[in-house]
Structure formats: structure tokens, C-alpha cells
A and B are shown apart, each in its own frame.
Chain A
Amino acid sequence: MSPRNVVVLGYGMAGARLAEEIRHRDPLAERVALTVVGAEPHHAYNRVLLSSVVGGTLRPEAAALHDRDWAARHHVDLRLGVAATAIDRAVRQVTLSDGGTVGYDALVLATGSTPWLPPVEGLVTDSGPAEGVVAFRTLDDCARILDAARVGAPVAVLGGGLLGLEAARGLAGRGNLVTVVHPMGHVMERQLDASAGRALARTLAGMGIDFRLGTAAARYVPGDGLKLADGGHVQADLVVVSAGVRPETALAEDAGLAVDRGVLVDDALRTTDGRIHAIGDCARHPGTVSGLVQPAWEQAGILADLLTGADTAARYRGTPVVTRLKARGVDLTALGDTQTDVADESAEVLAFDDPARGRYAKLVLRDDRVTGAILLGVPDAAATIAQLFDHGVPAPGDRLALLLGRALPSGAPAAASPADLPASAVVCRCNSVTKGALVDAWRGGACSAAELATATRASTGCGSCSGAVRGIADWLASTA
């Protein structure tokens, strides 16, 4: 049987991952002949690492997902720097920007999303973003940002969402004077409540980032900066735009597929045409939100199962969303339902608010399960709570310990003196010697630490309890 032709449009994180997953299941191309079409001139790279590239801790080449020979080694027909311009569903053929065509048995849309540039006067020219304006989306964008953002130069970031704040933190870490302009009352309003947004902004302010909240940019003047709707002014040599993205759905719409803020897909990741699938940012599945890599990668695994026949019953049921801000020195997790207020009696809601120290913790539970949380500055609690959320297992009864993690003093207080230890307390673990056994030995005539050791073997293993044995000897001597 000849392999079926699978064509993937898009060589970003979703498309590249799908190609890997297919070749993992079909390494010799016996079942699937694979063509991947990528509009960018680069081999696939890891977009998640771009904030580290902007922050200067990773070199751009460290973000590469594939090397130059990857496609050849894995029997993939890779077309770089080529965009698909049309899909002809009737003859199952894609037209490419280089004039060529490629036929398919199955087509996968992994076209991702494109940055949205807000309607600010002067921000966009006929040929794209104005001089000094860069979106924060691609490796080339990073190169432009690094080029323009000389150390000490003022930079404005348009948009206080997740990516905007990551870019802002990276640039501040490089020594730029960064101002974030955000039209909403607090940052990351999709993921955070107002208190958490406040605490986060305060933490970032401590790292040298200015915020202009509740106002929009009105006009951009190259070489000067931004005029704001509230009359304010932000000086900026560079404007980084991170005001949201739009799913790239033009091809799908032109081909007559159902689109509603994303190409609609079912649990088999099929569009309204059964031969065409969509994954990643361009797709819309009711079980998740777009813009994150985790759902895209899970979808890639499921779709590879289906396209290679490795598991024809595989279905995508959605991905619980856990948002992590990747910003040096800030630990923020938000998951599930974060907007429920502590006053809401339909749920169990706990909150801890400590903006002065950059800490905020909120936990929402229903039926003993974690359904939402915001955790700022409590990293180990965040790790535990995210696991409870992901696995849907009952939360521990000690809610306070869960909410605060290591921030809570641990366990029982250390015994103040040997007198307070119960007789059954094991003093020497290596030799199973209890305090009671030491007391008995003392009464039997072993009246020093050395004699206690000879009599009971306490402290003769790893020696960690030598101090404790001496302490007990001193205590016994003082009570004699």
C-alpha cells in the first residue's frame, strides 16, 4: 500500500511537533508521506524561549527545534519560506506562493496566529508597522527588538498581557527603561483578579517597569514615543506591540470551512471537511483556549495517532489551562476559574493578599477539587495546586498548608530541650535507639555521651545524632 499524503500548512510549534509525532510513529515514512510548508525562512524554533532570547539569557540559535538536516533525516518534504495561498478541496490540492501546488489525502492547518496591531494613529504604515514598532511574535521580531533596544533606551510595551509582561521583564533585565501601556484597570485581566494584578504590577514596578493602566495609546510619533488617550506621554525609542493575536484563518475561510474566532474542530481535530484538520493557535476546540503551547502539543500527539493509524480511537478532549508567567524573579501561576470572589458562597474560596512582599494566593474549590487558583510568589504551593487541578484529585484537608506551601511553618516545633522529648522518640535512627533507652542506660551506669554510645550504640552509625546524645547526657547529668 502506498503511504497517504499528509500536508501540514505551518511549521511553527504545532506543525513541527505534529511532524515529529508522525515520524515517531512512522519513522520510515511507510504509512505517511509528509510535506510541511512553512512561511518563515527559519527552521522551526521554540517560541516559548523568545522571552529568554529578548532577556539575553539564550542566544537565538538555542531556540531552534530542528537542525538543518532534520527534514532529510526524517523523510519530510519541507518547503521553507513558502506560504500556502489557496486550498482547492474538490481536487484536494494546495496552491503555494512560489506558484507550485501540492496534493493531499489529508491536510492539516497549523497556521498559528498573527499579532493584532491596535488602531493607534501612526503605528502602522502601508508597508506594515511603522519605524520603531515591532510586534513580539517571531524570531525575526526578537532580532529587531534586540537591534533597536540599546541599553538604557526607553521602550514602550503596548499590552499588559502575559507576553507583553514577559517582553517587558526581559527588556528591563537588559537595562532598558520600560513602560507598559495597558487599557484595562489591571494587568493580565484574562487570568488575574484585580488584587493579583495589583500585586504583580507592584512586583514588576520594583524591577524598574512603569505602568500606565486604564488608558490606551492614541498616537505614535517615531523618535518621540506614544501620546496616550488620557493626555499622558510615554517617551520611547522602540514600541513593542503585544496587544493580542488573531488566529490565522484566511485560508480556511476562503476554502469555505466553518470559522468562528478559529477554525472549528471536533474531538478528532477535524474541520467541517473531514479531510482537513486544524491544530494549535489557528484551531478552536471547545475544550481549551488558544495561544498556549500545551494544547497544541497534545493535539499534535492525538492527530499523529489518527493520521498514522497508530490509534484510530484517539480523541482530543481539551486541555486544562495553566498559565505561567516566564519572567525572571517573578513566580506566577493562574489556572481555571480565577475570578470567583471570596464572598461567593457557591464555592470554597481562600485568599491571601500581601502586595508589599509581592505575594498573593487564591484558591477556588468545588466539591473538594481545585477549580481555580492564582499563585504569585508562592512557587511550591503553585506546583502542588497545579497538579491537583490537572489530575482532578481531592485536595488535602489542610487548606492553609495547601494555599501557602512552604510559606507555612512546617510541622511540629522542634523540642526545646531533651526533657520535652517523649521516651519513645527515636534519637539515633541508625541503631533504633530511643530517648527512653538512653535514659535506661544512664540509670544502668552509662553516665557520659561516650558510655551511652557504648551501651546503646546511639551515634555510632552516621553520627548525625552525636549532638543530641550529648544534649541528653548533659540533661541527665543536670537532673541527677
Chain B
Amino acid sequence: MTPVTLAAAATHPTDPAAGQVDTHCPYCALQCGMTLRTGARTAIAPREFPTNAGGLCQKGWTAAALLDSPARLTTPLVRVAGELRPASWDDALDLVAGRLRDLQAAHGPDAVAIFGGGGLTNEKAYLLGKFARVALGTSQIDYNGRFCMSAAAAAGGRAFGADRGLPFPLTDLAGADAVLLAGANPAETMPPFVQHLRGAAAKGGLVVVDPRRTPTAEQASLHLAPVPGTDLALALGILHAAVADGHLRQSYLDERTTGFAAVWRIAAAYWPERVERITGVAAADQRRAADLLARARNAYVLTARGTEQHATGTDTVSAWINLALALGLPGTPGSGFGCLTGQGNGQGGREHGQKADQLPGYRRIDDPAAREHVARVWGVPAASLPGPGRSAYELLDALGTEGGPRALLVFGSNVTVSAPRSAHVTERLSGLDLLVTADLVLSETSATADVVLPVTQWAEEDGTMTNLEGRVLLRRKAVDPPEGVRTDLEVLSALAGRLGQPEDRFPADPETVFTELRAASAGGIADYSGVSYGRLRAGEALYWPVPGDDHPGTPRMFLDAFAHPDGRARFVPVTHTGPAEVPDAEFPLRAVTGRVLQHYQSGAQTRAIGELAAVVPEAFVELHPDTAARAGLAEGDLARVASRRGVMRARVRCVGSLRPDVLFLPFHFPDRQRANLLTNPALDPVSRMPEFKVCAVRVTKEDGAA
């Protein structure tokens, strides 16, 4: 069913002169189509686009409020005598470049580190990676996508040979009889997405795996609520049930995959009754899930952060992929496996070189051929490129320590709020000789910086974004930025010049950067060489890889072959080990962190928008009424939640559908309301994903003491 109001907004052409521009939402990876009307007052109208089908959530509707918000930064800030004071651009950039030069001269190239973000455009992600490797010569660059998509990306890569979140257009879901969502709550995280699940829900085939009865789970035909941290065992149980009930697609296994035997030897030991005891999910429900997926004509298995943000995240996603492969779904028309990318450019952001181990085009930085290719495009010797650096948490953990970076430049991220064990991260930031941020508003990280550079946001600049389907979108400039604000590209270009780089090596014009990105990505897994601003302006729907100007793009990957050299998908044998930290007498409950509809990521943007902040103004903790009562807490009380790593405060919300041993905490809030004060930085050995989604805690009544 389409929303009722949108027809009028749907067909206006882009026409900045007439005061309206077709663009995309600044927030999540759904990249909903919207039209920005400029004039006396900037306003947003929804626009028909395949991912949102004309819908917008409250974040999208109110996105323009931040364009002219009083919270915007419009002048560089430099810390003088402990206080951030306005400075000129030249003074600020001279200061930063000078300090970076000095620190590198004294301590080597790796004394300077960069932290990027999954909300940055492809052009920024690309130029940031190049800036690190060429202008700074540092290996120390990573980004917040490590906290987001890294587990799914690693699992997708090892199973299929390439990681594109959804290797099919989102609208394909409409034809499915069954969809299993593992650890996804799109009804709150990307609401218009839910429209694509309606077909499966109507046919009784929507299966939602989530410890909480979320708004998404409410719509499910079958809700499986595992103990947090036991998803891998659940996937093994469903796989076991599928095999034991005769649903294995043997011909698909024979023709398109390798490695099932080793996977079955593990899954054979996870019969549903045993898995029930580990996960708390009834054996009968595991069998029903297997049955719904296996009997569907078209079925999908989709994962998201709930199942991925664990110290066993990569293996857990592999377990879901194994299930999908056993049922013959991936690479089959009308069926498939995918992961729901979170951040606005979470897909493109992981492809173009802001990741510690990567070069543009989804190439590996330790691959000699990849280094040769990219170095040629950059006009530098391959040997001059540094090797892989530290992963995001390891990078933050090393700041200011012996042998660790002494300076950090942060673009598009608010690590003080979003990194795990955040009190420790804050302490590490304070150990730096120089912290520089590029920001729209004074985020919690910027508030502690030595230099803050005010930069543009979505509607104030051109740039491409790659949405959760791997479709490349052109997000156009619709309004002029406030005076005094520069683009991230301009900042990088100006710093590179001051660091002695030739002027044309770090262009500030997005289309020029993109043209270079196309060449750098050519021949890589994520090949953008055939994507151009011209084709995007003409309205072409281009899904990577697009290996040539006349190539139509690849809406559906893997239909003929998977991306491994033998063309086959690989089963990866994985087993359940459980969460890194389990409850004990001191910390008897499990805390799960997550999102609310009204806020995005660390909340730096959305908390500054009055209409959103009014709905969810502060951190809350959801807990079962019995658990609240045992702690002497009632609805609306202020609770103190503690883990081995810290203590946070949150307002009590009693939720009868929650397991009595589980708490839920949204992570969008600052200071003493940071859920990440509690979270466990235990890292996934493959992807280096921290264990955001489960840690052991206790809850008590806040007594006012520190």
C-alpha cells in the first residue's frame, strides 16, 4: 500500500533555479528519494524512488532543519588556553599542517592517524584514503564502518568472493514468499524498507530473529527470540532442521558450492532440541523457520547489526549464509542472501580505501597487483604506499600510547559516543598531542578537539553515495552552505597542499575526484569505471560492478557464477562459542544496544533537531517489569546501569515482552547517557568488529552519587 500524500511530490524534475532539487536523505543506507524545496524556507517532500516507494520517516522529513540550525559550526575553532576559540581558515589549516609535519618528523609517518565515516560520500572516502597513504604516508587509517558492516563484509567476501550488501535490487523482495531477518529492525532503523516485506508477511513467511519484540518482530509471522549472543547456534539449529526434514538442495550444492560436508558435520551436533537449550528458541519454531524458507518458491535470508556486532560476528553471518546456501537461495533469481547496510554510504564507504586494509575498488592493500594499479593512478611508486594499519578499535586504543599515533584527524564520525568502552576511548583521545575534527555541529568528539573545522553537509555539496543495494546515486547540491563552511574535499585539498603535495593531486571538485576514483576502481571487485556523473544525471540506475562506459551495470550478482575463481560459493564451517562475556553473580543481566527511530548513529545530528529530540530526549533502558521491580525501579525512574567497563544513566521503561535477563539500551546519547560506556571491545578475529550487541551488566536505582 502506498502512502496517501505523495503523488504531488513525485514527478517534479530537478531544477535548482525553480527552487527545488531531487536528492536523497542524509541518513541511512536506504537513501530515500526526496525533493528539497528551497526558497524562503527550506522544506522536504518525499519522492518516488525504488527503495522508499515515496515514503519518508520522521528523520527524513525533518532533515532540512539542520541546514540552517543555530547548532551549525561556521568558523574554524582552535583550542587556546584550554578553550575552543574562533580562528581563520588559514590559521587553522596552517596550524594543523605544521603540527602534523612536526609530529611525523619526530615520530615517523604513523604518528598521524585518520578516522573516517560511513556517511561520507564516495569521493570523500576515496580522497581520505589517498590523503592518508600519499600526503601523510601513514598506514593508520580506519573508519566507523568497522563498527558497522565489517563482519557482514568479511563473511560475504569469503562465501561469495565479493561483498555487496544486497546483491539484488531491494524491490525483488516484494516477490518473496519468505524472508528471514536476522538481527534487523527496519521498522525503526529504515522504516520505508518495511514496504518491501509486505508480500512475505501477507503470505505468512516473515521470520524475524531478535531478542526483543521490536516493531519489526510485531509484524512477523514467526518471531524467534534467542538469548543475546547465541544467533550462531540458532542458525545451526535451523540448518539442522532443514537437512533433517529433507530440504537440502542437493543439485544446487553439487553445481554451485563447495564445502557442505564440513558444515554439516558441525550442524549435525546442533539438533534443534539442543539448540533450544542454548538459545531459548523452541525447537518447534526452528523447524517452522526451516520449513517456511524451504517451502517458499522465493526466499531471502537477510542479516543486520543485531547478529553481526559480536566478537563472533563474521562466523555468525557465515552461519546464516550456510543456511541460505543449503536451501539454494544465493545467486538464484527471485531468492538470495543479503545484509542490510546501515550508514548512508556504508556500502561505498567500505569500497574506496578508508579501511585499514584496503585500496579503492574493494582491493586489498597487501595485494601487489592492487598496489601497482592504484599507485599508477595516483602517480606514486607502489613501494611508497604503506601496508595495512590498525583496525578502528585497535587504532583508538593505541592513541597516545608508546608506538601509537600522536595525532588524529576525524571525518564524519563521533567516536566519543559511538566506539565501544567509550570512557577508555575518551581517555585515549585526551592522550593525543593533536585531535582535529571536521564536523557540522560541535559533536562530543569535537568538543574535546584541538582544532575543529566546520564542513558542509549533504544538501550543500555534490557527491555520490552507494546505497544498500550497491546502486550508485548522485546526491546533488541544493543549497549554498553557510558562509565560512568548506567541504571535506576542500579541507583535504588545502591540507595536502600545505603538506607539499602537487595541487592537482588532491582536487576539491567532486566530479574530478570521482573521475579519478573510476580509474582507481577499474578492474577491482567494486568496479565503478563505467559510472559517470553524466550517466547518473541522466537517471541511469547503475549497480556496481560497472566495468565500462557502455556496461549497463549489475543489478543482480551471482546469477551465473559467484566471484571466486572457480565460480562456486564456499560453505565455511563455523561453530557456536557464545558471547565474550557471560552474566555472573556480579553482573547478572545481558545488555543489548541498538537504535530508536528518531535518532541516527551518535545522535550528533538528530539530537540537534527539536522535533526529533522532543520524541526521544534522553537515554532510556528497557527492562522486564519483574527485573525493574527486583531492582526497586519503576517506570520513569532514573536507573544506573553498570558493566565491568563503566556506568551509565538511563530512564526506566518497563517492557513486558522483554526477556527478564535482558536490558535494551539505545546508543545515541552523550556523556553519562552513553550506552557505549558499558560495551565490550572484545574483537572478532576476522573482521575486528567489537562486541557491541551483548555484555554483562547490573542495574540499580540511581542514587545521585557519581
Chain A residues lying within 8 Å of B6, measured Cβ to Cβ, are: 460
| A429-B187 CB under 8 A given contacts A57-B246, A460-B61 | yes
A453 interface neighbour in B4, B193, B195, B261, Cβ under 8 Å: B4
Chain A residues lying within 8 Å of B193, measured Cβ to Cβ, are: 462
Interface residue? A425 (CB, 8 A): no
Are the C-beta atoms of A67 and B598 separated by less than 8 Å?
no
| Bound complex: CA A63 to CA B267 (Å) | 11
Interface residue? A397 (CB, 8 A): yes
Which of A49, A382, A384, A463 has the largest number of chain B CB atoms within 10 A?
A463
| A393-B661 CB under 8 A given contacts A49-B268, A62-B264, A331-B283 | yes
Q: Mark A292-334, 1 if CB is under 8 A from B, else 0.
A: 0010000000000000000000000000001010100001000
Instruction: With both chains docked as a complex, state the minimum distance between the C-beta of B478 and any C-beta of chain A, in angstroms.
Output: 20
Interface residue? B295 (CB, 8 A): no
- Which chain B residues numbered 624 to 662 have a C-beta less than 8 Å away from chain A? 624-626, 629-630, 656-657, 660-661
| A461-B191 CB under 8 A given contacts A324-B273, A386-B277 | yes
Chain A residues lying within 8 Å of B283, measured Cβ to Cβ, are: 324, 331, 379, 383
A457 interface neighbour in B58, B261, B660, Cβ under 8 Å: B58
Are the C-beta atoms of B261 and A67 separated by less than 8 Å?
yes
Interface residue? B2 (CB, 8 A): yes
Which 5 pairs between the two chains have the least Cβ-Cβ distance? Answer: A324-B273, A462-B194, A379-B284, A379-B282, A383-B282
Q: How many A-B residue pairs have CB under 8 A?
A: 144
Are the C-beta atoms of A382 and B282 separated by less than 8 Å?
yes
| Bound complex: CA A390 to CA B583 (Å) | 13
| Bound complex: CA A66 to CA B266 (Å) | 10
B271 interface neighbour in A49, A386, A430, A459, Cβ under 8 Å: A49
Chain B residues lying within 8 Å of A379, measured Cβ to Cβ, are: 282-285
Are the C-beta atoms of B660 and A432 separated by less than 8 Å?
no
Are the C-beta atoms of B55 and A460 separated by less than 8 Å?
yes
| Bound complex: CA A453 to CA B1 (Å) | 14
Instruction: Given A387-B280, A460-B5, output 6 extra A-B contacts at Cβ < 8 Å.
Output: A66-B265, A294-B274, A379-B282, A430-B597, A450-B5, A467-B1
Which of A322, A430, A457, A461 has the largest number of chain B CB atoms within 10 A?
A461
Are the C-beta atoms of B57 and A430 separated by less than 8 Å?
yes
| Bound complex: CA A294 to CA B6 (Å) | 58
| Bound complex: CA A429 to CA B218 (Å) | 13
| A380-B5 CB under 8 A given contacts A46-B269, A432-B598 | no
Q: Mark A428-441, 1 if CB is under 8 A from B, else 0.
A: 01111000000000
Interface residue? B228 (CB, 8 A): no
Chain A residues lying within 8 Å of B598, measured Cβ to Cβ, are: 432
B265 interface neighbour in A65, A382, A387, A459, Cβ under 8 Å: A65
Chain A residues lying within 8 Å of B194, measured Cβ to Cβ, are: 462, 464
Interface residue? B227 (CB, 8 A): yes
Interface residue? A124 (CB, 8 A): no
Chain B residues lying within 8 Å of A461, measured Cβ to Cβ, are: 3, 55-58, 191-192
| Bound complex: CA A84 to CA B178 (Å) | 53
| Bound complex: CA A100 to CA B160 (Å) | 50
Chain B residues lying within 8 Å of A386, measured Cβ to Cβ, are: 276-277, 280
Interface residue? A275 (CB, 8 A): no
Instruction: With both chains docked as a complex, state the minimum distance between the C-beta of B273 and any C-beta of chain A, in angstroms.
Output: 4
Are the C-beta atoms of A464 and B219 separated by less than 8 Å?
yes
Chain B residues lying within 8 Å of A469, measured Cβ to Cβ, are: 4
Interface residue? A454 (CB, 8 A): yes
Which of B195, B246, B269, B624 has the largest number of chain A CB atoms within 10 A?
B269
- Which chain A residues numbered 397 to 444 have a C-beta less than 8 Å away from chain B? 397, 411, 429-432
Instruction: With both chains docked as a complex, state the minimum distance between the C-beta of A165 and any C-beta of chain B, in angstroms.
Output: 14
- Which chain B residues numbered 245 to 269 have a C-beta less than 8 Å away from chain A? 245-246, 261, 264-265, 268-269
Interface residue? B281 (CB, 8 A): yes
Chain B residues lying within 8 Å of A391, measured Cβ to Cβ, are: 583, 661
B4 interface neighbour in A48, A331, A450, Cβ under 8 Å: A450
Chain A residues lying within 8 Å of B657, measured Cβ to Cβ, are: 411
Are the C-beta atoms of B244 and A58 separated by less than 8 Å?
yes
Interface residue? B685 (CB, 8 A): no
A394 interface neighbour in B3, B276, B626, Cβ under 8 Å: B626
Interface residue? A223 (CB, 8 A): no
A–B Cβ pairs within 8 angstroms, 9 of them: A57-B245, A65-B268, A391-B583, A397-B626, A432-B615, A460-B56, A461-B191, A464-B219, A466-B4
| A432-B58 CB under 8 A given contacts A65-B268, A379-B283, A450-B5 | yes
Are the C-beta atoms of A46 and B268 separated by less than 8 Å?
yes
Chain A residues lying within 8 Å of B629, measured Cβ to Cβ, are: 397
| Bound complex: CA A454 to CA B61 (Å) | 12
* Nearest B residue to A17, CB-CB: B269
Interface residue? A396 (CB, 8 A): yes
- Which chain A residues numbered 314 to 363 have a C-beta less than 8 Å away from chain B? 322, 324, 326, 331
Interface residue? A133 (CB, 8 A): no
Interface residue? A96 (CB, 8 A): no
Are the C-beta atoms of B4 and A449 separated by less than 8 Å?
yes
Instruction: With both chains docked as a complex, state the minimum distance between the C-beta of A98 and any C-beta of chain B, in angstroms.
Output: 28
Are the C-beta atoms of B187 and A462 separated by less than 8 Å?
yes
Chain B residues lying within 8 Å of A57, measured Cβ to Cβ, are: 244-246
Which of A46, A393, A431 has the largest number of chain B CB atoms within 10 A?
A431
| Bound complex: CA A449 to CA B4 (Å) | 8
| A462-B192 CB under 8 A given contacts A58-B244, A383-B276, A396-B624 | yes
Instruction: With both chains docked as a complex, state the minimum distance between the C-beta of B518 and any C-beta of chain A, in angstroms.
Output: 35
- Which chain B residues numbered 209 to 254 have a C-beta less than 8 Å away from chain A? 215, 219, 227, 243-246
| A387-B56 CB under 8 A given contacts A393-B588, A449-B4 | no
